[in-house]
Structure 1
């Protein structure tokens, strides 16, 4: 399958199920392979990934719901939020948690002061590339996913629940599973508003 085809196949899937053909170990290896080959500034390899399945996956989304309930403005809005969490995320087979290992970034700032102001931004770029690489790799395997950001609301509880090092900063949550309904149509803004080809200077 061509990369262009895989890019088009990768979509935000909000109707997930547990009917995947792969084992947790096989999915774990997909995630590992994608992150291992992801480029990072100075080859810092600052991205960390944890794959949750089974009861651990369910527990994550219970944590999310508990934290959201505490900040919800009304019972009606929380009911809608609960439906969304349960149907779009918890219903899936698992979740990938993506982190930045902050001492790695700090070490680069100290060791390369000329570029110190850039390393945080570059670590975010590395995280984003890893997120996308995992997403495309899962799509190739026929697994649906989406990227969510309930951090930093859930950071402390997630750290305590799963015994995660305090120096790992949670940056994204990726629920995944079988595709129970396809993504909707994707709209594109006009190319001329986004892209330019420049072949000479003034």
Structure 2
């Protein structure tokens, strides 16, 4: 068995110490992200995943929106300081990918294939996982670190207004990426016998 892809998978980790020392141009990054999402599998080839790629002040604005929405939920100054430091670490990255699901596509499939109606939302989430994992792993293969956050739905309305996002795009995650300033910690694994069953 070839294991080249397995070795690439091992490079994908949640990297939190990110910087702006990226060698690729914005155009190269955009082409890579777009092509990777387009090649990711989706049920019925529905292609329901959408993305907005935020660079420079747009990247910064996204994380300002996150912090502004979190502040009312913080209990004291210590919580504010810790949360601000966390958001500043995301802002220190190079760019952010916002992942969306086109709800019109999901609704259309529910109407077109009523026998599978109860499955299409779950399948759209699987499409998200496929696309996010593919991009994340591809970035890792290019020595670019990333981590995936989920501040949706808290930030949905402000994100929609700030970036003029279509109303039928539902935010599903925020992937910040950048240069790897400090590698991720080693990953732990549960025992195989608790995870897999093989029938021969």
TM range (shorter): over 0.9
Q: Using the TM superposition, give the Cα deviation of residue 33 of structure 1 relative to its aligned residue in structure 2, in angstroms.
A: 1.1
Q: CA deviation at 1:30?
A: 1.1
> Structure 2 CA distance, aligned partners of 1:156 and 1:72?
20
Corresponding residue for residue 193 of structure 1: 194
Task: Select which of 64, 76, 79 maps to 2:78.
Answer: 76
Q: Distance in 1 between matches of 2:126 and 2:76?
A: 36
Q: 2 CA distance for matches of 1:91 and 1:168?
A: 27
SS at match of 2:150: coil
SS across alignment from 2:149: coil
SS of the residue 1:127 aligns to: helix
Give the deviation of 1:71 after TM superposition: 1.4
Residue of structure 1 equivalent to 2:172: 171
- Unaligned stretches of 5+ residues in structure 1: none
Q: Look up the match of 1:35.
A: 37
Give the drift of 1:105. Answer: 0.1
Q: 2:60 aligns with which of 47, 58, 64?
A: 58
Partner of 2:147: 146
Q: What's the secondary structure of 1:5's corresponding residue?
A: helix
1:24 deviates by 1.1
Q: Give the RMSD, CA atoms, in angstroms.
A: 0.9
Tell me by how many angstroms 1:179 deviates.
Answer: 0.1
Match of 2:7 in 1: 5
Residue 155 of structure 1 corresponds to: 156
Summarize deviations over 1:46-103 as a string: whole Å, max 9, x none.
000111010000000000000011211222111101101112x110000000000000
d(CA) in 1 for partners of 2:5 and 2:51? 23
The reply to whether residue 19 of structure 1 matches residue 44 of structure 2 is no
Q: What's the secondary structure of 1:174's corresponding residue?
A: strand
Q: Secondary structure at the match of 2:182?
A: coil
Aligned length: 198
Following TM superposition, where does structure 1 have runs of at least 4 consecutive aligned residues deviating by more than 3 angstroms? none
Counterpart in the other structure of 2:128: 127
Q: Which residue of 2 aligns with 1:109?
A: 110
Report the alpha carbon displacement of residue 140 of structure 1 after superposing the two structures with TM. 1.2
